[in-house]
Structure 1
Amino acid sequence: MTYLSPLLSLPGAVASGAPDLGTASHYGDPFKEQRALARGTAVVDLSHRGVVTVTGPDRLSWLNTLSSQLLLGLQPGSSSETLLLTVQGRIEYNARVVDDGTTTWLIVEGSEAEGLAAWLDRMKFMLRVEIADVSDAWAALGSVKPIESLADRTVWVDPWPRVTEGGYAYSVVTEDDHPGLERPWFEYLVPQADLTTIVAGLAEHGLSLAGAMASEALRVAAWRPRSGAETDEKTIPHELDLIRTAVHLSKGCYKGQETVARVHNLGHPPRRLVFLQLDGSQHTLPAVGSAVVAGGRTVGTVTSVAQHYEMGAVALAIIKRSVDPLGELVVQDGDETYAAAQEIIVAPDAGQVVGRATGFLKGRR
């Protein structure tokens, strides 16, 4: 059954397509909403998120053995991000993690919650943990600033783009110059049944609603990868710069760790995430899945595209590592061609840190 947010019944709401089906793309004025969200005077409906809970005294130590992040000792109210990988090190699930002292909350894409809960349930064995898919009972609201009236709620604070303990940056910009700093991100969990009432209360405090077009534009501009958008069945975390926030390189064993360590220490990721500033003169946007072309050959795929209120048409794409970082790219969508200025997110020489004498390639911003 397809989820439909109750906020879609509000005046001006226009339904989103994938991957935000069930929520509003906008409420009548996408750029106004985007500016308000960027200023911190709007919230975005993320009620289509999937929510999985893990309870029991062994929950953190158990999750620590299964996933890429060090979760032992995660303090109540603290947030983290972790990956569940295949044996080959490919991303299966990317979970936002927050613990409240009795429950660990895992926030994922809506399409992933059922599968994640079932996978975790199979991994229980004799440990004192209980897993539940509570997506029907809980909704999320996103903002770029803390919301005072929701201070008593469970909130996940995005660590991006700071390099967390045990992480490693694959980008060519310094942490203090990373565009992700312009987009702090908070996701508040609220009862699904109270969503409309809570949003109405926020409006009384001066917080309007923004649609998915607004939040996606800010995410793309922040170089923030999204599960199901920037990931496919082959994605390893190195390709998306997720080593910085979702992987602890010196924690204990977990499935996929061997690949993570081997690529990081001795190899290079075969693909890399790149930010594209698109030619906006056509007044249209290429579709997700459009080909990225260099020198007449396809070298990658557009994974997310948005119209930013300041930068215009922008996109994220996954391209081959070998693509010249200074080369000219175009995006091909059917008969439409869009010139694309490349900004490096993951450096072409990322990885192979053992014996490295110098830093990453310093590509242009």
Structure 2
Amino acid sequence: MTPPLACPAETPTILSFSGPDAVRFLNGQMTQAVDGLGDEAKPACITNAKGRLEHFVHLCQGPDNESIWVVSNHDDPEELRARLERYLIADDVEVEDLSGTWCRIHASGRLTGATFTRENLGPWGKGSDHWWPAGDEPTIHTLAPEEIEDLRIERALPRWGKELTPGILPPEAGLDSSAISYSKGCYIGQEVLSRMKTAGKVNRRLGLFEIPSGLTEGAPLELDGKEVGTLTSVAGSLPLALGYVKKAAFDQESLQTSAGPAHWKRWA
């Protein structure tokens, strides 16, 4: 039997929210619907009043199936907590920092022995997050970071620090299809993002390109001698890259680079 594909073990930032007002409070902070998570983990954006990205997280129920975990691979727990508690005034909510106390392994199939699991999308598509108390996780074969990165780019998944940075508008990165609920109640930044959806317009978009060899992150994409985009992630073993493209080039099937044409494949 072929073992499942697995990512290396992580001990991410975790803020646990519980109490009678936890779901209502988080719904007012996240672009994603917090109620009804069930056995799933879902991506969510935390935006400012102008709809611009401040944090990118995942939401899931904790092992008690009552608390809501806000999970991040990159955020400082104190900074993330300060951002959320800024709006915690008269709500009956308890916040607990569990960072470093739980370990997560994401895999394409089931791993035995996990304390609890949550369905989630990984670099290869559908999979599950498996959680253990930190130090209790098994030693298993995992993909190398460069293999995971190539899979991520092939699926046109944005990553924090590459395509996702503070200040971007989430729909530019294609997050409107996975991390934004347009049917939930109000949250900070909702008015701006709802207007963008109604208008159906963004000033730039994240795309997947087939590229010639020799290009690196930051390489410009040009149309008629003018820069209209930039590569943000370049695969190591595949002729693929992700990059942002300005509106003026949305209808172009290829753009020029210093190494030759980059052919558009699809939007994120």
Count of residues paired in the alignment:
265
Going from structure 1 to structure 2, the CA distance change for 1:323 and 1:211 (only over 3 Å counts) comes to same
Deviation for aligned residue 1:151: 5.0
Residue number in structure 2 paired with 1:289: 218
TM-score by length of 2: 0.87
Equivalence map 1:10-159=2 (5 Å): 41-47=4-10, 49-75=12-38, 77-100=39-62, 101-147=65-111, 149-150=112-113, 152-158=115-121
Q: Deviations over 1:96-133 (max 9, x none)?
A: 11113232122213235432122122222122222233
Q: 1:298 deviation in Å?
A: 1.5
Alignment partner, residue 229 of structure 2 = 300
What is the TM-score when the length of structure 1 is the normalising length?
0.66
Q: What is residue 275 of structure 1 aligned with on the other side?
A: 208
CA contact (8 A) 1:229 1:303 kept: yes
Flag structure 1 segments of 5+ consecutive residues without an equivalent: 1-38, 161-179, 347-365
Q: What is residue 316 of structure 1 aligned with on the other side?
A: 242
User: Higher strand share goes to which structure?
Assistant: 2
Show the counterpart of 1:8.
none
Greater share of helix residues, 1 or 2?
A: 1
1:51–1:108 Cα contact (<8 Å) kept: yes
- Pair 255,145 (structure 1): closer, same or farther in 2 beyond 3 Å: same
Whole-angstrom distance in 2 between the partners of 1:297 and 1:49: 41
Deviation at 1:317, TM superposition (A): 0.7
Distance 1:299 1:185, change over 3 A: farther
The equivalent of 1:345 in structure 2 is 267
Q: Encode CA deviations 1:7-26: one digit per residue, 9 max, x unaligned.
A: xxxxxxxxxxxxxxxxxxxx
Give distance in 1, aligned partners of 2:262 and 2:77: 35
Measure how far apart 1:338 and its partner are. 5.2
Q: Is the 8 A contact 1:48 1:110 kept in 2?
A: no
What residue in structure 1 maps to residue 252 of structure 2?
Answer: 326
Q: Deviations over 1:147-184 (max 9, x none)?
A: 2x0454243513x8xxxxxxxxxxxxxxxxxxx8x622
Q: Distance in 2 between matches of 1:237 and 1:187?
A: 24
| Larger CA deviation: 253-262 vs 232-241 | 232-241
1:140 Cα deviation after fit: 2.1
Q: Is the 8 A contact 1:325 1:342 kept in 2?
A: no
What is the match of residue 265 of structure 1? 198
Verify the 8 A CA contact 1:183 1:219 in the aligned structure 2: no
Q: Matched residue of 1:220: which SS?
A: helix
Residue 217 to residue 45, structure 1, CA distance change in 2 (3 Å):
same
Q: Give the match's secondary structure for 1:72.
A: coil
Instruction: Give the match for residue 228 of structure 1.
Output: 161
Counterpart contact for 1:325–1:344, Cα < 8 Å: no
Note the residue ranges of structure 2 that are not aligned, 5 or more in a row. none
Percent identity of equivalent pairs: 24
> Which SS does the other structure have where 1:246 is aligned?
coil
CA distance in 2, matches of 1:260, 1:232: 17
CA gap of 1:120–1:317, structure 2 versus 1, over 3 A, is: same
Secondary structure, counterpart of 2:149 in structure 1: helix
Calculate the aligned-residue CA RMSD, in Å: 2.4
